[in-house]
Amino acid sequence: MIPSLYFFALKSLQVYLGRRKFRHPYIFASSFGEKMQNADGLMSKHFSFFNKCHDSRTDLRTFGNMKRPFDCFEIGRIAYNEEDYFHSLLWMQEALDRVKREMPPSIAESEILEYLAFALFKQGNIKHALITTDRLYEIAPSHPRAKGNIKWYEDQMKADGIKPIDMRRNIPPIVNPRAGDSLGNSERDIYEALCRDEVPVSQKQTSKLYCYYKKDRPFLLLAPFKVEIMRFNPLAVLFRDIINDEEIEQIQELAKPKLARATVQNSQTGKLETASYRISKSAWLKGTDHPIVERVNRRLNLMTNLEMETAEELQIANYGIGGHYDPHYDFARKEETKAFSDLGTGNRIATALFYLSKPDEGGFTVFTDLKSAMKPSKYDCLFWYNLLRSGEGDLRTRHAACPVLLGTKWIANKWIHEKKQEFLRPCALTPSVQERYVGDLGGPEPRFYPNISPYCKKGAYCE
């Protein structure tokens, strides 16, 4: 991407945020290189999650000043320069539709037509490309490339055996195939639909979910945790109101000086490196950094009934606008033999994800295989097991962080490892055994405890 287009993306957001009268100091990076990364994250997701400009109501609400034909054109040109003709065609067509209704026009129709014609050609619509270039030549006969492009398209069709008389007749519908990527079209489509909140929730499944007070430890008899079961198979729960403002502010203050571009572990070498599919900043906090960090670690032990001694340090992540993390696993798969080898604590058995803030738009946590979206609030913690009771990785836990569209997202990750969990989460007698609740060792289900659901009568026991 060329710098001027990055500047356009960032400038548009700065103007809009200024109009909204608030500032987020970590939305924009300190160096030009990091600004380029943020813009790349923003624009790539801007393309992907709102494929049709005229259908993207959230897009136009969020990026309030990016709805002129010129803005659609600039986005289409960024896609064009990245050879992403799928999105370039969509945005250029939208720019063309809008410029016809705009007085005075913010962009010349001739500029749009040239880009649109080539995007049409690259997507397999050569007759449409020719007709579009005819229109370009009609309104701008002195255009330096229009006449030559017409001849080039005609020569291409002639080489394909199309007679001159048929070059502008029997025009087929426009096709716009989407190129595959590392995720594959199927998973990419699911990921985007989940982030757009377009995947319906199964009422049959949600009807079986419930909330309860976790009080299976002596301390919790005095101060039980609020737990909401979000999914049974595989188990995922939300701990509600589990962290407070004082703790959040202290954690953020500790993390800010340490924030750096987030990394991922190379599956072949085991080394940490940056990746375009993870756009965020992160920092690591030790229990010895501050009493509040150690307090959170002790609380996690009470929450999960798992040993924290072998867990990784608390990772703080900050996602600015455009920040995201594409679908991934938290555990190391069999072929990733070097992952976590330097820790000597085994695989990641579970993940705890604290939500230290909630963005104004976007930022969901989604599970692509399960087609489910989690939308926790600030102060909550999402917890799930990454491994089956057998120790095998649970492929259903593939998840992603949706792009932040407005505001900022602060989270704290705690990855808990296998070592020293042998008696706290032992292997089951059969591979199919699943946890019914956090810390399930075969005891009664907590749904027989007093339920905190508003649908339960005061003092009643809900089943």
Sheet strand arrangement including 278-279? 278-279, 324-328, 399-401, 365-367, 372-374
Query: Nearest-CA neighbor of 276 among 333, 328, 326?
Result: 326
pTM: 0.71
The pair phi, psi for residue 130, each rounded to 5°, is -65, -45
Q: Which residues of 201-230 are buried (b: 16+ CB within 10 A; e: fewer)?
A: eeeeeeeeebbbbbbbeeeeeeebbebbbb
**At the topology level of CATH, where does 185-448 sit?**
Jelly Rolls (2.60.120)
| pLDDT value at residue 137 | 96
Q: How far is it, in rounded angstroms, from Cα 100 to Cα 71?
A: 14
Query: Nearest-CA neighbor of 27 among 413, 411, 412, 405?
Result: 405
How far lies 269's CA from each of 2, 52, 398, 453, in Å?
32, 40, 21, 48
| Per-residue pLDDT in tens (0 to 9) along the chain, 463 residues | 333 344 444 444 444 344 333 333 333 334 434 444 444 555 554 445 554 444 443 444 444 445 689 988 988 898 898 888 998 999 899 999 999 999 999 999 999 999 999 999 999 999 999 999 999 999 999 999 999 999 999 999 999 999 999 999 999 999 998 776 555 568 988 998 999 898 988 888 888 899 999 988 989 989 999 999 999 999 999 999 999 999 999 999 999 999 987 666 665 666 667 666 566 789 999 999 999 999 999 999 999 999 999 999 999 999 987 788 999 999 999 888 888 888 999 999 999 999 999 998 899 999 999 999 999 999 999 999 999 999 999 999 999 999 888 889 999 999 999 999 999 999 888 877 889 999 988 777 887 755 444 444 443 334 3
Instruction: Sort strands 278-279 and 236-240 into parallel, antiparallel or unpaired.
Output: unpaired
CA quadruple 354, 34, 408, 326: dihedral sign: negative
3-166 to CATH, choices 1.20.1270.30, 1.50.10.10, 1.25.40.10, 3.40.50.300 = 1.25.40.10
Domain residue spans in the chain? Answer: 3-166, 185-448
CA quadruple 428, 433, 434, 435: dihedral sign: negative
